[in-house]
Amino acid sequence: MRIIVSGGGTGGHIYPAMALIKRLKERNLIEDVLYVGTEKGLESKIVKNAGLNFKTIEIQGFKRRLTLENAKTIKLFLSSIRKSRKIIKEFKPDVVIGTGGYVSSAIVYAAHTMHIPTVIHEQNTIAGVTNKFLAHFVDKIAIAFTEATDQFSEKKKIVFTGNPRAQEVIDIKKNDRLKEFDLAPDKDTVMIFGGSRGAKPINQATIDTMDKFVAANYQILFVTGRVHYDNVVKLIDDKYLKSANVSVLPYIDNMPEILPDIKLIVGRSGATSIAEITALGIPAIFIPSPYVTHDHQTKNAMSVAKVNAAKVIAESELTSEKLFNEINQIMSDETLQKSMSDNSKKIGVPDAADRLIKVLTDLVNK
């Protein structure tokens, strides 16, 4: 199967695409793959580092208010369709899939006009603008949350697949990576993580709770985000930094590898994080980012919380006291931990990549 994949802007669009490609290769289902993105986007670095065939188009997203910049956006969209058609003619794909971000709009739409099977994958409970536009033209709409169904009028096209990232982490086994961070590999561990760039409110609440964390009967892996690390370290008393119960890091490479060693995760509720967490059945306390489009992180978090697999703290209500109480309640109750873990696994989709691959192969073989 020859496949074109496109998605960009954020890791939430790129990592599911990369997980899909990885699984296609593992199953020997892929003859060739081409990733289409933008030169300036995050996908450029990630895809190139993975050694994949990568081509770029120039395109940008619409502004949410009337502006002359939108005239340029329309011009770029039309020219990117022309370039996309050329890319498609040269590569001759059997199927084209878009995983979100405005970069995917041109290549998926162009494929539709050329009568090539097309699929979009929506990772969030609230569909992005690009996927809502493309939904009118594609053959299938793959979703990762059942709540996303109401975001599309083309119900017959919808297939629930989950997020391919889930399948990428499901086979990772418990290991001793905690030793790398000067923590005990056999002690219950809470990871507090505000995303790759970190989250200042989460960091501050954690700093303010250090005196309680160092005395807890569980240990804390506190990942600040690279841009916040130096300042966070300055704000933490040295005696807490030297505690065997706390490890403070700017970032963890290959983050999924450490997840099986984590008893509780505290952090944002992006679609990729939730896919990984529920695949492994890790209890979570979500503090959704209020700054994302349509507040979709809150909707994501609530979809997990409603089955009692996670708790949710609004960032506006986050305090050191509330953070500690919520963490302590879960960490001091093994029955609650098991219940949350079991509930999390029930909504996890450990075969998500294979489900999405079936959508693709069914279209190709139709």
Q: What is the pLDDT of residues 263-313, one digit of tens each?
A: 999 999 999 999 999 999 999 999 999 988 789 999 999 999 999 999 999
Judge if 311 and 357 occupy the same domain: no
Output the pTM of the full model.
0.89
Judge if 10 and 108 occupy the same domain: yes
pLDDT at residue number 60:
59
Judge if 163 and 241 occupy the same domain: no
Per the model's pLDDT, the better-predicted residue between 195 and 38 turns out to be 38
**26 pLDDT higher than 60:** yes
Instruction: Count the helix, strand and coil residues of the chain and give each as a percent rounded to the nearest 5.
Output: 50, 15, 35
Indicate the range of 59-73, 154-168, 216-230, 297-311 predicted with least confidence: 59-73
Judge if 154 and 184 occupy the same domain: no
CATH number of residue 64's parent domain: 3.40.50.2000
What pLDDT digit, counting tens, does each position of 237-250 carry? 999 999 999 999 99
172 in a domain, yes or no? no
What pLDDT digit, counting tens, does each position of 166-194 carry? 998 998 888 888 999 999 999 999 999 99
Task: Enter the DSSP assignment of 61.
Answer: P
Q: Is 12 annotated as a binding residue?
A: yes
328 in a domain, yes or no? yes
Judge if 9 and 157 occupy the same domain: yes
Judge if 220 and 328 occupy the same domain: yes
Regarding beta strands 140-143 and 158-160, do their DSSP bridges make them parallel or antiparallel, or are they unpaired? parallel
Q: Is 258 annotated as a binding residue?
A: no
Q: Is 297 annotated as a binding residue?
A: yes
* Average confidence (pLDDT) over 34-58: 91
29 in a domain, yes or no? yes
Residue ranges in the chain assigned as alpha helix (H): 11-26, 42-49, 69-91, 103-113, 129-134, 165-169, 200-207, 210-213, 229-235, 238-241, 271-280, 296-305, 320-331, 334-347, 352-364
Instruction: Give the integer Cα–Cα distance in Å for 316 and 274.
Output: 21
Judge if 205 and 231 occupy the same domain: yes
pLDDT at residue number 196:
73
Q: Number of C-alpha atoms within 13 angstroms, CB side, residue 242? A: 3
What pLDDT digit, counting tens, does each position of 332-366 carry? 999 999 999 999 999 999 999 999 999 999 999 98
pLDDT at residue number 267:
97
152 in a domain, yes or no? yes
Judge if 300 and 155 occupy the same domain: no
Instruction: Give the integer Cα–Cα distance in Å for 331 and 218.
Output: 8
Q: Is 162 annotated as a binding residue?
A: no
Range of the domain at 131: 2-167+350-364
Q: Report residue 271 as tokens.
A: 């679609």
Judge if 315 and 272 occupy the same domain: yes
For the chain, what is the domain count? 2
Read off the pLDDT band of 53 (50, 70, 90).
very high
Judge if 75 and 209 occupy the same domain: no
Q: Which residues is 159 bridged to in the sheet?
A: 142
What pLDDT digit, counting tens, does each position of 126-167 carry? 999 899 999 999 999 999 999 999 999 999 999 999 999 999
Judge if 212 and 121 occupy the same domain: no
Read off the pLDDT band of 58 (50, 70, 90).
confident
Instruction: Give the integer Cα–Cα distance in Å for 260 and 269.
Output: 18
pLDDT at residue number 67:
55
Q: Is 11 annotated as a binding residue?
A: yes
Judge if 360 and 268 occupy the same domain: no
90 in a domain, yes or no? yes
pLDDT at residue number 203:
97
Q: Is 10 annotated as a binding residue?
A: yes
Q: Which of 161, 194, 350, 165 is nearest to 269 (CA)?
A: 194
Q: Is 126 annotated as a binding residue?
A: no
